[in-house]
Structure 1
């Protein structure tokens, strides 16, 4: 073989290797190992909920898919733009933000870094100057959860279990994504107990409201003292204070995002779960297979993205008749027989 033929053969091999890493018809060809950056929300690592679930999912993706992973310890939403940008500058294949506060910066960065894929869990659509939702860039997946559906089950359970006719909701930051929980919860309560009163408290109006356990304790203690006997929280790390109030008062509490029974054993009726870990694993798997799916993606009870805990630890707390009623409502939502409101005003009207 002549030197020229050898040179041509080597070039051909190189071109084939490059083609294996290139775009093919708008879809990335599978990669063996992807580099993923995860940006935490307020509350950070150890919140016992939203963040820890996403971290666990990322760890599982690293174990099963061999992904090269990094987790931002930036402190939460206040610095998420910088953390998202840093991972983009590092040319990671996939950058994931797990808070609605990451929506706008991820939207901007996706346009600036077309070769990096971005995903936001609990995405809040970015709007133009006229308030119209803007289409996501072709490398951004905005995953929204129909959180009101899971909260509806929490409300039904609270209404069925309450002895005082007063149930409570403690939210973190007063924002649309948390008001979805409030709306669904109130609708669930009214579905089974029209005469019940829902007492609502928010920890604040900034991202810090998700990481203030003392505030959560004060709000929950005040509700319990006022006659509330079941509280559902959607407050991130602030919820640890709500659990403390439940332990100290001997009242019921309902957890969120992950199974939070261990926060107040014997006092946690259930937890409304959001399978963030599965979402993160799915995103990494898509990226590794060259099948990243961009656009708006809505997930709810019917998709298995949301659920409620009923197992050997809390089964004795919930009478069989109550369980059956909640399950019947869950199936009705899945079947489309019940449309759960997304905003409190709709819940009140219903």
Structure 2
């Protein structure tokens, strides 16, 4: 089984061109309980792509939209068909299994589960459909016909911590996570380490919007706004939110405080049309190029050489990065470049738990 997939320069260049494009569709607040689905055709035979989104779906301005960009790019290049199904906050394991099974029954290949929540259901469903290639983002499923698409979120978050520590005027910053789970703890761990290694005196607030099996923290802008406002009230002036579409609420709260900065996640949130009126408060975003991982998997199916195993996209291959839109990092870019170099050459080892 393949362990690490290297990102080609051609794919990265192409991804950079499409990076700021935001997928059209309803907002996450409209879709989060809808279980909605849609399909589109790129013409010709091409590849039949099945995309099972996490809560929020296409239009979340974040994680799901990044996956959608990869599928859209593949559909445009290869032709074929894209079928999209969206999770509900109230989903059970049976719901997720049914979603994946319905795509497999309809002949979609590959089928991508966007998010760790699909791990258990994909383990079961992939065994029932051995001739179909599945992909899962942000989790590992040990099966011969599954590609586990993972990222070094902690490394990108370390750079966000460095940026926050260099930009705060109060030596006080904040982190907001969508749910108290190992994946999001990687974001928190990297952010705290980067901030404290840059400024040992800094104070870091941490808060999670949901816990356990509750995933509502990824699709509740109102919760994100309330949490960010609470941290601002405590004195934080830079807030990093890793919480899907809930982060839009956090950015809104930050934009209401003069001199405060928000740090986005997954997509370049400075360039998201739905956040345009707040963009001058978006310091940067920790971009996780889910689109590249999804595109690579689809291309492998088209080429007749399906990717399987764990395929990791690290900082050194731009699997994660800091966006520079707005130009707000120009004055600290040399220090960010230095930190990145140390992570890449191994001088800095970033923790995955706080």
Q: 1:41-56 residue pairs with structure 2 within 5 A?
A: 41-56=54-69
Q: Residue in 1 aligned with 2:32?
A: none
1:333 aligns with 2:343: yes
The Cα of 1:290 is off from its aligned counterpart by 0.8
Aligned length: 300
Q: Residue in 1 aligned with 2:303?
A: 289
The Cα of 1:76 is off from its aligned counterpart by 6.1
Q: Residue in 2 aligned with 1:260?
A: 269
Q: Check whether the contact 2:68–2:291 (CA below 8 A) recurs between aligned residues.
A: yes
1:65 aligns with 2:73: no
Q: 1:44 to 1:76 in 2, by over 3 A?
A: farther
Q: Residue in 1 aligned with 2:36?
A: none
**In the alignment, which of 215, 218, 221 is matched to residue 213 of structure 1?**
221
Q: Residue in 1 aligned with 2:210?
A: 204
Distance, in Å, in 1 between the alignment partners of 2:109 and 2:279 is 41
Distance, in Å, in 2 between the alignment partners of 1:220 and 1:286 is 41
Unaligned runs of 5+ in 1: 1-30, 127-135, 345-350
Distance, in Å, in 1 between the alignment partners of 2:283 and 2:265 is 11
Q: 1:341 to 1:154 in 2, by over 3 A?
A: same
**In the alignment, which of 114, 117, 125 is matched to residue 98 of structure 1?**
114
Q: TM-score, normalised by structure 1?
A: 0.83
The Cα of 1:91 is off from its aligned counterpart by 2.5
Q: Residue in 2 aligned with 1:190?
A: 196
Q: Residue in 2 aligned with 1:22?
A: none
Distance, in Å, in 2 between the alignment partners of 1:213 and 1:82 is 28
1:222 aligns with 2:233: no
Task: Give 4+ residue runs of structure 1 displaced > 4 Å after superposition.
Answer: none
Q: TM-score, normalised by structure 2?
A: 0.82
The Cα of 1:32 is off from its aligned counterpart by 6.3
1:159 aligns with 2:165: yes
**C-alpha RMSD over aligned residues:** 1.6
Q: Secondary structure at the match of 2:209?
A: strand
Q: Residue in 2 aligned with 1:240?
A: 248
The Cα of 1:209 is off from its aligned counterpart by 1.2
- Write the deviation string for residues 4-52 of structure 1: whole angstroms up to 9, x where unpaired: xxxxxxxxxxxxxxxxxxxxxxxxxxx9622110011112221101111
Q: Check whether the contact 2:56–2:87 (CA below 8 A) recurs between aligned residues.
A: no
